[in-house]
């Protein structure tokens, strides 16, 4: 059976020679099929590239928005901490002024005496009145002694003899690299290093506290507390009275940590404040005070 074909005639422009090329039908169909397949593949590749470019552009936009929101969050967090520190300072100042001027007593009256309730003072009111009168009758020598004793309730002793490895304020989390606010300072300390009380006070907590690990909280009065975290063991119990420089625990690596160290916080009115404002001019102690009963 004779095969159908196309004839392609080629003519030389100089010599005038003619050349016939026979192209079978099925070869032409194969060429057309390959061209169509190539066109479809090229279209698919271009479409995939366009979709990928669109996704990358959206990802970059989302990443930029996340960075902007993260910066705004850090700024709001910083402003919040500043407001809390200012509020704590105002509370301390108000307390000192009220004690100095004898305004601790609060005199309130009612338009109608029947609205005042019972005229007999309660037990707590009687104790408050007694303490006020007792403070008002202190001699000058007693006032000076009390003022000297009050100095011991300010945290001025470094709890461990170590370098500051992480400061108070904004920082990158050492475990996940995310930005955050550090509410205290981290002091380098090997496991078992003696931890000292930064000031006189009462131990209000000595227990495991989540990410803080084993932690101790000491109340120094006037709304001021200190916290010692990531400890290995306790040397005091809740309710125990401690003195400045007294051994209260040993450092460790409990809780959420990347290595052994001591996390130390100072809080005023429940808000964290920079411990360096109290400890920056205080020399680190290299040993436990021998005159205290451990």
Residue with the two structure tokens 């004898």: 102
CA–CA dist 65, 107 (Å, integer): 55
Burial 141-154 (b: 16+ CB within 10 A, else e): eeeeeeeeeeebbb
The predicted model scores a pTM of: 0.48
Could you report the per-residue pLDDT of 28-77, keeping only the tens digit for each? 778 888 888 888 888 888 888 888 888 888 888 888 888 888 888 888 88
Torsion of CA 220, 224, 225, 226, to 10 degrees: -100
pLDDT exceeds cutoff 70 at 268: yes
Tell me what pLDDT residue 292 has. 35
Is pLDDT larger for residue 122 or for residue 38?
Answer: 38
8-state DSSP, 283: P
pLDDT computed for residue 145 by the predictor: 43
Weakest mean pLDDT among 18-22, 51-55, 260-264: 18-22
Q: What is the CATH number of domain 155-279?
A: 2.70.70.10
- The structure tokens 């009050």 sit at 150
Average pLDDT for 231-244 = 93
> Which of 287, 277, 258, 80 has its CA nearest to residue 186?
258
Write down the domain spans for the chain: 155-279
Average pLDDT for residues 134-159, to the nearest whole number?
60
CB of 222 closer than 8 Å to CB of 204: no
Which 8-state DSSP code applies to residue 4? P
Comparing 174 with 113, the larger pLDDT belongs to 174
Instruction: Render 63-104 in DSSP notation, one character per residue.
Output: HHHHHHHHHHHHHHHHHHHHHHHHHHHHHHHHHHHHHHHTTT
> What integer best gives the mean pLDDT of the chain?
77
Distances (CA, A) of 86 to 53, 75, 148, 199, 225: 50, 16, 26, 23, 17
CA 245 to chain centre: 27
For residues 231-250, average pLDDT: 94
């Amino acid at each position: 059976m004779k095969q159908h074909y196309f004839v392609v005639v080629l003519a030389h422009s100089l010599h005038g020679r003619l050349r016939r090329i026979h192209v079978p039908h099925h070869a032409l169909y194969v060429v057309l099929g390959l061209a169509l397949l190539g066109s479809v593949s090229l279209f698919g590749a271009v479409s995939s590239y366009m979709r990928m470019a669109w996704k990358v552009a959206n990802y970059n936009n989302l990443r930029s928005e996340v960075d902007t929101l993260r910066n705004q969050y850090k700024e709001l967090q910083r402003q919040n901490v500043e407001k809390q520190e200012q509020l704590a300072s105002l509370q301390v100042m108000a307390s000192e002024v009220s004690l100095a001027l004898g305004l601790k007593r609060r005199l309130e009256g009612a338009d109608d005496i029947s609205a005042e309730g019972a005229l007999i003072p309660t037990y707590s009111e009687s104790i408050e009145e007694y303490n006020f009168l007792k403070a008002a009758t202190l001699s000058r020598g007693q006032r000076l002694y009390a003022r000297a004793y009050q100095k011991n309730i300010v945290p001025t002793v470094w709890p461990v003899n170590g370098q500051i490895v992480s400061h108070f304020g904004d920082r990158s989390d050492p475990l996940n690299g995310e930005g955050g606010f550090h509410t205290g300072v981290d002091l380098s300390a090997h496991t078992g290093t003696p931890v000292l009380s930064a000031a006189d006070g009462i131990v209000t907590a000595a227990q495991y506290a989540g990410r803080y690990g084993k932690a101790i909280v000491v109340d120094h009065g006037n709304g001021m507390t200190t916290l010692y975290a990531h400890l290995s063991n306790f040397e005091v119990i809740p309710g125990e009275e401690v003195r400045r420089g007294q051994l209260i625990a040993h450092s460790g690596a409990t809780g959420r940590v990347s290595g052994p160290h001591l996390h130390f916080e100072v809080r005023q009115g429940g808000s964290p404040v920079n411990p360096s404002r109290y400890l920056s001019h205080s020399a680190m102690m290299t040993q436990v005070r021998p005159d205290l009963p451990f």
